[in-house]
Amino acid sequence: MEDYIKQSEPEFDQFASDYRQIHTENINKVSGADSEYFSEYKIKEIKDRVDTAPSAWLDLGCGDGLTAKFVRQYFPDAEYKGIDVSDSSIQEARARGISSAEFSVYDGKNFPFPDNTFDVVFSACVFHHIPPEERDGILDECYRVLKPGGKFIVFEHNTYNPVTRKIVRDCIFDANAILLNEGRFKKQIRSHGFRSVLRRFTVFFPRKKPFMWLVRHEHLLRWCMFGGQYYIAAEK
């Protein structure tokens, strides 16, 4: 990957209105599913992993707010807040009219919340858009706003999967993305004070009829490093 090219304005401003359409067109032929499917699967995965339903949820890099729909579905009592550097994306998120969901623009460095505010800080395929030199500062902020015992859960594309790498190369809004190796990212997260850091691989098979019976058993392959994505779950 080429070095991250800094933009004069948030790069997702230009994609905000048609982000879902572009994303679906980019992944559907290979995956057999649309953008909304993959937003929901992440929240379902978390639902299966948490012992106690969170009361306060931060969505870091919330984009157009689709994740809020599924947080509301699977964690109906959670207070949801989403932040993003893209003002246009935040406007799209607010236009969804999701109840009890608040969306706000932030400066890309400082979260506009007090210490120890959230039970969950969630981030879905955002860190590969953050310049590498800024990631440590964002991880510090994630740690700061979590309550003691709170969960930091981050999904990212898997660098070991060649299909994933091709999808990223072909996607217009991933032009400046720098993917994160899961092993190094896990160590980086741990270095910021997080404990109980674990990672799981996901998305091994296309969401198409011949493979659906295999999709139902993907959880048995969480240890296998060739899934299309991975997530890391850590605790403050």
Count Cα neighbours of 144 within 13 Å in the Cβ-side half-sphere: 13
Looking at the domain assignment, is residue 3 inside a domain?
no
Structural domain count, the chain: 1
Distance (Å, whole) CA 156 – CA 176? 15
Looking at the domain assignment, is residue 160 inside a domain?
yes
pLDDT band at 14 (very low <50, low <70, confident <90, very high): low
Looking at the domain assignment, is residue 221 inside a domain?
yes
pLDDT at 7 over 50: no
Distance (Å, whole) CA 121 – CA 132? 20
Looking at the domain assignment, is residue 179 inside a domain?
yes
Angle at 194 between CA 1 and CA 69, to 5 degrees: 70
Q: Quickly list DSSP for 88-110.
A: HHHHHHHHT--TTEEEEE--SS-
pTM: 0.89
Query: Where residue 68 sits, what CATH number does that domain have?
Result: 3.40.50.150
Looking at the domain assignment, is residue 5 inside a domain?
no
Residue 179 belongs to domain spanning: 11-235
Report percent pLDDT > 90 for the chain: 67
pLDDT at 35 over 90: no
Looking at the domain assignment, is residue 223 inside a domain?
yes
10-19, 73-82, 165-174, 189-198, range with the lowest pLDDT: 10-19
Residues shown for the chain: 236
HEC secondary structure over 156-213 = EECCCCHHHHHHHHHCHHHCCCCCCCHHHHHHHHHCCCCEEEEEEEECCCCCCHHHHH
pLDDT at 4 over 70: no
Contact 179, 159 (CB under 8 A): yes
Mean pLDDT of the 42-63 span = 90
Looking at the domain assignment, is residue 78 inside a domain?
yes
